[in-house]
Structures are given as C-alpha cells and as structure tokens.
Structure 1
Amino acid sequence: MSPIHQPRFLCVHVPEFPAQARLRHRPALRGKAIAILDGTPPLETVCSTTRLARQKGVRQGTTRAELDSFPGVEALRRSRSEEDSAAAALLAAVWQVSPRVQVLAPRNAAHRVVVDIAGTERIFGPPAQVARNVLQQVRALGLLAHLCVSDNFHTAVCAAPYAGGKPAVVAHGAERATLAPLPLSALDGVEEEQRDTFALWGLHTLGDLAALPETQLVARMGQAGRRLWLQARGEHPHLMQPAEDRFTLEERTEFDAPVDLLDSLLFVLRPMLEQLVLRANQRALALASVTVRLSLTNHAAEDTAIAPEATQFERTVKPALPLADSRILLKLLHLDLQAHPPGAPIVAVHLHAEPGDQTRAQLGMFSPQLPEPSRLDVTLARIRALVGEGRVGRPKLLDTHAPESYVVDTFAPHLRASGSASKTHSIYHPALHGDPLNYQEQASSFASQSRSLALRRLRPPVLLKMHTAEKQPKLFFWRGTRYEVATAFGPWRRSGNWWTTSAWSQEEWDVTANSSSGDTLVCRIARDIMHRHWLLEGIYD
C-alpha cells in the first residue's frame, strides 16, 4: 500500500496589505472607499485600495490629481510603521502552528507568508482544520486573508490568491489540475520579457504553459523558462528559509491630522490594546506593563507628517499584577495621561507591552474574598491623580540608620514583609555613639516623666532658631512663642554614609521647655552637624 501523503505548506495571502494595515485600528473606515497614497507630495500615487474603491474605478498607480475625480473616495497616506506592526502580529499568529515560517516578498500590494505544517496533524488536526484555525486567528487581528494548503510550496503560493473566503486544500497529485485554469500572472518571478513571449505564443493560463514540451521550452528560454514550467505543473522544489521567531508586543499607528483631544486618542488606543491582549492571550500570557510613546507635532512644520525632530512623549503604566483586560488597561492609561498631558498635538502612537504570566489566585475555604487587583489598580490611579505622583503606595524601609529612612514604593497585593526588613530599623546603643556615662540615668529620668507620652513626628522637621549655652539648648522660638529649656536629655549622636556625598550626622535631645504664658512643651530637637542648624523633629503628646 502506498503511503498517504498529506499537504505540508500553508500559504497565507493578505491582499491589499497597506490598506488593511491602515484600517486595522480604524474599524469605522472599513466600510468606506479608501485609497492609500504613497510617494512624495505632490507626486503621490495609489498603492493600495479597498474593495469599494476598486468598484469605483480606482486602481494602483492612480495619481493624486486623478483621485480627486472619483467621488466618495477618501485618501490616506501610507504608514510603514503600521504595516510592520500588522506583519509582526501576523507572524505571531502563524508561529503558534509551526516554527518554520517563511516571509515572501510583497507582490501586488499583498503580504504573503508560508508555514510548513508537516507533522502537526496530531496536535492541531488535519490540514483543513489547521487552515481554518489560522484563518480565524488572522481575522481576529483585523485582516482578511486567503489560504491554500498543498504539498508543493509554489502551488500553495500561486493558488492562495484565488482561494476565496474558505481555505483551499490541494490534494496530493492534483497540483497541475488545480493550477491549470489560473492566469499566468499567478506565477512568481515572471519578467516583462517572458510575459511578452508568452503572449506572442498565445499562452494565457498555467495549463497552457504546463502543456509545452520541456526540451523545446528550455532551448528557447533557458533554465528560467524551465523554472516557470515546473511551477505551472506544481513540481518545482523549494528550500524553505524560515524567519527568526521574535515575540514582541508592539502596535503603531499614525494620524492623518494632529490630535489634541484625549478622547480621540483613547478611541485609537482601545483597538491597539485589544490587539496586544489578543496576541498575549494566544501564548497564555498577560500584560505586565504598557508603555505609550507619543510623537508630538512640530509647530513650525507645515506638513502634518512626522518630522525627524518630532518630540517624543512617553508614559508607562504597570499594574500590580499582569492583566489581560484591555478595558482596565485603557482606564489606567486614561488616568495617567489625564494627570500627565503631553502638551502638544499628537501625530503618531506607539504601544509597547511587556508580557507576564497570567495571574491565578487560589482562595482558602474559610478565608474572606480579597478585592480584585485590577480594581485596586484603578482605585490607586484615581487617588494618585488627586494627591500627586509618588504619594500613593506602601512605605519601604531603606538599609540605613538615617532619619526618615524610607521611600514610598509601588503597592503590590499579596506582599508579605520579609524578616530581613526588621534589620533596617535603627538600633541604638550608647557605647557605639559616644554618649555620656550618665545616659542610663538620663533615660530613666526622662522615661519616668514621659511614661504615658507618644512622639508625634513633624514631617518635614521644623527649622528652629536656637540659643545655646555650653553646647546645650537653652532658648528657642516656635510659632512665635519663646520657650526656655527646663530639662534636656542628650545629646544622642547618630551619623552615617560618611563615605558618600550623602553623609549625615546629628545630635538629638529630648527636652522640656516652658513658655512665658506657662505652657509646657515636651519635644525632641536635633542639631544637624553637617549643615549647622537646629530642627524640631517631634512633639510628645
């Protein structure tokens, strides 16, 4: 029994790729007659069109002046960056089927990739099922494509543009019969001279070319003619050159006119974020951070195109946990851009996301339900917009004994304090700081007086005008009131970071002071030795 041959090559043919890439993030324009212009103004020509524009008579090569004579046709400029984003998204979709993917050179404004699906039957099913799954993923990216599966590489490439809305599967041995009715323009690499020769010979289809005798064709056209003859018969071999698998989450878009409204920007960011989340979900990932890079217009430039000296504005949102919800990510971007406006009209948007593992939380049977991290991110973003950047988060101790040795860190749920955090607390010992010998006596005396007191820190500390006697605090002014020091316990010396430019050194006293009106103030004051000034650090309540 002869072995059963299965098709191996899947060709994905995306026609009018410049137009589809331009409209991928503009769903409102998909049902209109659109023509994509390429070139230097005013010598621009049409390089790609939509179906409605072709029905009105617009063709590739139509000039800008001629395009004005077609009513109802809207012109857009070509965007290479959006085409690169669409091509990268298409590669990411087909790479899920097989790592052997070859990108072909564009032809007639079409983008083409070929996937080697040999040996994938046990994972993804028969070739027809694989083709349907790939077509579904390509449509989810906002692209329309034609697919063809064949044992022969060139047969799949030639037949894919004529496959229609459903994937075509060429059976083994039926390559020549499938290609026979196709026009000669379906072949790749046909030169103008060869096309004229075929026209003089009266050849119109691939079947006519395949019926020619091989020896006589080679005698007249050489090996180039034999290559085309083998392609027409579905017998020409091919050595694949797979593209490098690079997984990136990026989307780009350009505006035809500068955008200065946040609502208009969010209208474009929504489909871009949906595409990033879709591509991350295809690999069971989420978005750990999203960076939006805005190209701002140059007010001195007359053209709305992006100038090389255009200003770049960049913002990054990083949720506490990786998210796979485009609505929440859009809300975070909305709040961030509302708090940090770009300050100039926008002409281009570039989104870059870092992938992360999808969050899976397992709750205990008797433990209370925790708030969703996504809602927490939105709540923190709203608070941050009210109180300012850097004022929302959790305190984090620094590895130093300096006063106020903490920073506000990003809040992360399910974060437990490590045992090493306690090592950053200041530990005082009189022998290490050169305190007087009567430290224990002073501390006991002050503790007996302030046994029920609690220190209320002043942040930031208040600068005092101090009068001293014999290096001891005697008199100071605070809030317009004069205070005379009755008792002072100290000094307790602390210093650190002497080996860096951020060195610090200070002496602290716990004092009891009386005002002229009879009020008593129990407080902690400090002398900054490096800067030579006195500070009121806290008050004992």
Structure 2
Amino acid sequence: MMYAVIDVPRFALQAVSRMEEGLMGKPIALVDASLAKSSVIDCSIGAERSAVFPGLSLPQAIARCPELIVRYRSEKAEASAGRALFDCAYSLSPQVEETYSGVCTIGLDGVNRSGLDERCEEIVSALQGLGLKGRMGVSITPDLALLVARESKRVKVVGEFISHDRGDCVPGVAIAKTDPQSAAEAEHEWPAMVAEMEGIGRSGLGPPCQSLKAFLGSLPIIAAEPSEHLHSILTQWGIDSAGAFVGLYREEVGKRLGKEGLDFWDRLSGREERPLRVSALPEYYIESLDFEYEIDTLEPLLFIIRRFLDSLCLRLSRVALVAESLNLELRLADIQLDDGERVEAARLSLRIPDPTCDANALFSLLSIRLENMGTTSAIVGISLEIDPVERNENQLGLFESSLKDPHRFSQTLAQLAGIVGPDNVGRPALEADGRPDGIRMERLPSTVPQAGPTGGRKSYGMALRRFRPPLDADVRTRDRRPVWFHCSRAGGAIGSCQGPWAHSGQWWEPGGWNRLEWDVELRTGGVYRLVKERSRWIVEGMYD
C-alpha cells in the first residue's frame, strides 16, 4: 500500500498570514500572546534574511529588522487552515489522517495510480489558491511519505521498497556479518527497487518515481530526526545519510543500538507501517476568526470573506452539496443598545435563489449586500456559516427553459434585497393556514415553467375591492352587532348587517389569529366588510 502526505511548513505562520492581503514576501514574525514573555515562535524567510529567528525576544527581533511585521498566533486561524488542508486531502481519498498541525496523511488504497502526480499537483495548486504553500510526498509508509514531502518542492514520489532482514555493511563500522559474503553479494542484497526513476516498474505506479535507495542515499541522517543520543553514535560511526544506516544489518543494529536503533531502522527501511487514524469529514460549514485589530473598512473584510468562501465551497463540493443560504455575523467592538437590548454583533442572512457551490457567485452576492450595509462600530470578529442542501438537478420539460445566467439573476435579486429588504424579494405564495391575505415570499424558480391555461375560475356574487392596507375604523355596536362605523373613506349608520363569520387559525402558536367578519350596508349607500381582530376594528374593503 502507498501513502501520500501533505506538509504545510510554518503552518501557524501561514494560517495567520493567509487572512491578510499584501503580506507575501514581507518579513513577518509570529508571537504567542499566551506566553509570559513575548518571543518569536516562527518567522518568514524575509525575516530570516534580517537575522530574525525563533527564540528571539520581540524587542530583539524589531531591533534587527525595523520593518518587521508582528502577528499573533490565532487558534481560530489555525483551525480554519487545518480544515482547508483536510478538504484538499479528502479530494484524493477518504482515508485521511490529521497527523498534526499542518500535516495530513492519506491512504492510497483503492486510488487509481494513473495520473497520481497530476492529481497531487492539483492539490498543491488548490492549497496555494487557499493561501497555503504546501508540498506532497508519496511512498510506501506514512513515515517515509512524510520524509519525502519534506524533501520535496511541490510533489515527489518515491517508489516501492522490497525490504530484507539484512543489508549492506558500511565500511569502517565494526559490525560483523552473520554469513560471510563478498562485497558483490552484499551489494546485490540491497533491497531492490520496484519502480526506478527512469520508468514505471512492477509496482504499477502511474507517475515516474525515484528509487527509495537513491532517496535514502541523498537524505541526511539528521533529516530523519533521530534522537540526540542515537545521532551522536551514528556520527561517531561516520554515518551521515539514511541510506548508509539502512545498509547495515538489522540484526547487528539491534545488538549495538537496542530497541531504539531497531525502531529507527524499521522506520527508514519501510518495515514499519502504522495504521492511520482516519478523520471524518466535518458535518458543519462554518468559519470564524477574531481579528488582532479593529476593521473599519470593507476591503480587508471582503478579503477574509473570500478566503472563507473558498474553503467552504471546496468542502461542499467534496460531498456534492450546494449552499442554500449564507449567515454572516460581524462582531462589533462597541456594544450598542437597540430599544434597550444589547447588540454585540451585526447579522446578515442571505438566501441563494439558485443554490450553488460556486465561490465566485456567492462572493458577488455577499459583497453586494455588504456594500449596502453599515455599522456604527468597528468590527473585531467574523463568522460565516453556510446552510447546505442537496443539489437538485432535474431534466427540463419540452416547453421549459432555464435562466440564461442564474448567477447574474441572483446578483440582481441581491441588489433588490439590499434596497427593499430580504423578506420582500421573491415570489408570493398563499399560506396554508387559510388566513385572509396570508402570504409568504418563496424563492424564485431557476426554470421558467410551461404556461398553464389562461381561463380563470368562475366567480359568484359581488367582487370585494380590498383596501391595502386595511382602514382603521371606529365602530358602535348594539347587542354585539355593529350599527355605525366611521373610517377615512366612508362612514355612517348601518342599515343592513350580515354576520358574524368567525375565522381563526394557529391558535396553538404565539402568532395565532382570530377574527369576526360582517358585511354591512350603509343607509346612504355602499356595502363594506367590517372585521374585528381581537380589540381592533378595520374596514377590509368595499363591494362593487
């Protein structure tokens, strides 16, 4: 079985810097605010050129590099970057282990090896699009794949390794062979490569790969991270590469270095293959971040939102879901009072008329709404959540047609929602509770249905011309029946009265309704509908 490892170096630093535009190539130092003494825990290559390195105190680092940009470590930023890394790894195989921060190990069992290098290149490019510079390595064990990834610039594949219990003896090291053999025989017993650099071997790997023998021969022993004690012994033996150490007999290594040496030999030779702790794909679609400083302009906020949308849409695409709505929360620096209630955040909910997982379309919709939204306080934090829904792809009928540009249509609706409010955009539909004039706004369809019959239903009696909104009225009653009313449009003594007709619904809910209706005729002429809703009288309309 083969394994792939994605390694993101300087993970904590990249997780913070990816959330801010314009930091590429600049000297940056990362500081942990939880430590008692502010010191540099990581730094960029630009900072290293100015002799800034981890362990320096913050004043020392600034003294060496006056233009140094200081950023503080963020757990939420690292969690967000970790989810983005996991989503990219999941695109290759569902067998993904979150080994530790910045490293994901992928089991390639059942993965088609054809075009494996191209798929790995796509993952590295996807990570770069999310603001993370990563590298990948492929080999026969998780530990070897990690070593390959660390020695790779982008993608590197090291072929399969058929291991034996013994290997070559390194000249100058006093380890005797158990069986007398010539130097030629010993060289022949080096573990054979199945796939060589020049082509594809018996392992069936798709991409060309380097032999493990060649890789270990060029790998410094210190890169394999032996213990300090073990490294000291190997240095005294004159062993400076991993290949030279694996060339020793395993049995003789165990005699001289004990269990620690055997474990190290097994890890480098590929004998030790540990099981993966496979992680499940997150079931929630939310990203959150607390800012180091207050934001009072739109540009940096939009940059962070775009990062969030890229990660969330990638996660949706992995499970074939689309975004039905977006929920944005902007945490404010100053708590506001609205009608006596504390307001700690500004919230925005946006329904997507045509559900999609296209980050460009979602960003356009959200940016349009944010341009029409303002806050009286600076922003210190942000949360973005997506409500997912399954993709609904139905074949159109013969006389049905889809929208030419659903995303452009959605942007137009978002602009309208920014003017009239999100609850006033859509298609009206009658409520099922039977309440007069009870309507709700539902999402506009993405397809234009076939036109129905044009003939209307037959109507009986007089037509009611409704007043919108209904008119408030003063009403006098006798024996619980109206005898006189007055409103802004009409009024006077009632000559004839029919009713009451009682209507009610949803009485079991706080928004339940109850009304009594009368049809009344004034003595001076005119027929009207009077309605009593609890203690309020209204004139709902007049009959033609």
Q: TM-score with structure 2 length normalisation? A: 0.76
Give the superposition deviation at 1:283. Answer: 5.1
Aligned to 2:72: 77
Measured against aligned partners, the alpha-carbon deviations of 1:65-122 in whole angstroms (never above 9, x if no partner) come to 221021332121112222222222222222222222223235xxxx22222223423x
Which residue identity lines up with residue 153 of structure 1 in the other structure? P
Residue 105 (structure 2) pairs with residue 105 (structure 1): no
Change (3 A) 1:381 1:21: same
Which residue identity lines up with residue 540 of structure 2 in the other structure? E
Q: For the residues of structure 1 that align with 2:343 and 2:504, how far apart are their CA atoms?
A: 46
Q: Is the 8 A contact 1:101 1:114 kept in 2?
A: yes
Q: For the residues of structure 1 that align with 2:542 and 2:132, how far apart are their CA atoms?
A: 68
Equivalent residue for 2:516, pick from 496, 506, 515: 506
Aligned to 1:406: 439
Give the superposition deviation at 1:159. Answer: 2.5
Aligned to 1:439: none
Residue 136 (structure 2) pairs with residue 142 (structure 1): no
Change (3 A) 1:492 1:89: same
The alignment partner of 1:68 has SS state of helix
Q: TM-score with structure 1 length normalisation? A: 0.76
Residue 43 (structure 2) pairs with residue 46 (structure 1): no
Q: For the residues of structure 1 that align with 2:422 and 2:135, how far apart are their CA atoms?
A: 50
- Which stretches in structure 2 are left out of the alignment for 5+ residues? 162-192, 194-210, 337-341, 453-459
The within-5 A match list for 1:12-27 is 12-27=6-21
The alignment partner of 2:355 has SS state of coil
Residue 330 (structure 2) pairs with residue 294 (structure 1): yes
Aligned to 1:4: none
Residue 307 (structure 2) pairs with residue 271 (structure 1): yes
Q: What is the root-mean-square deviation of aligned Cα atoms in Å? A: 3.7
Change (3 A) 1:233 1:247: same
Measured against aligned partners, the alpha-carbon deviations of 1:382-426 in whole angstroms (never above 9, x if no partner) come to 333333353333333233344433344444445989x9xxxxxxx
Q: Is the 8 A contact 2:517 2:529 kept in 1?
A: no
Change (3 A) 1:489 1:237: closer
Change (3 A) 1:390 1:158: closer
The within-5 A match list for 1:252-331 is 252-281=288-317, 284-297=320-333, 311-331=344-364
Q: Is the 8 A contact 1:148 1:170 kept in 2?
A: no
The within-5 A match list for 1:302-381 is 311-338=344-371, 341-358=374-391, 360=393, 370=403, 372-381=405-414
The alignment partner of 2:274 has SS state of coil
Q: For the residues of structure 1 that align with 2:504 and 2:93, how far apart are their CA atoms?
A: 59
Percent of paired sites with the same residue = 24
Q: For the residues of structure 1 that align with 2:422 and 2:121, how far apart are their CA atoms?
A: 48
| Stretch deviating more after TM superposition (471-480 or 88-97) | 471-480
Change (3 A) 1:389 1:511: farther
Give the superposition deviation at 1:314. Answer: 3.7
| Stretch deviating more after TM superposition (315-324 or 397-406) | 397-406
Change (3 A) 1:268 1:208: same
Residue 147 (structure 2) pairs with residue 158 (structure 1): yes
Q: Is the 8 A contact 1:38 1:78 kept in 2?
A: yes
Give the superposition deviation at 1:43. Answer: 1.7
Give the superposition deviation at 1:125. Answer: 0.9
Aligned to 1:305: none
Residue 519 (structure 2) pairs with residue 524 (structure 1): no
The alignment partner of 1:91 has SS state of helix
Q: Is the 8 A contact 1:332 1:381 kept in 2?
A: yes
Give the superposition deviation at 1:494. Answer: 1.7
Change (3 A) 1:513 1:457: farther
Give the superposition deviation at 1:268. Answer: 2.5
How many residue pairs end up in the alignment?
482
| Stretch deviating more after TM superposition (399-408 or 177-186) | 399-408
Q: Is the 8 A contact 2:369 2:414 kept in 1?
A: yes
Which residue identity lines up with residue 411 of structure 2 in the other structure? V
Residue 268 (structure 2) pairs with residue 232 (structure 1): yes
- Which stretches in structure 1 are left out of the alignment for 5+ residues? 1-6, 301-308, 420-442, 515-519
Q: Is the 8 A contact 2:6 2:136 kept in 1?
A: yes
Aligned to 1:424: none
Change (3 A) 1:387 1:133: closer
Q: For the residues of structure 2 that align with 1:179 and 1:103, how far apart are their CA atoms?
A: 25
Q: Is the 8 A contact 1:258 1:347 kept in 2?
A: yes
Give the superposition deviation at 1:14. Answer: 1.5
Equivalent residue for 1:395, pick from 428, 432, 437: 428
Measured against aligned partners, the alpha-carbon deviations of 1:118-177 in whole angstroms (never above 9, x if no partner) come to 3423xx515434433433333343322222222233222222211223423335434344
Give the superposition deviation at 1:227. Answer: 0.6
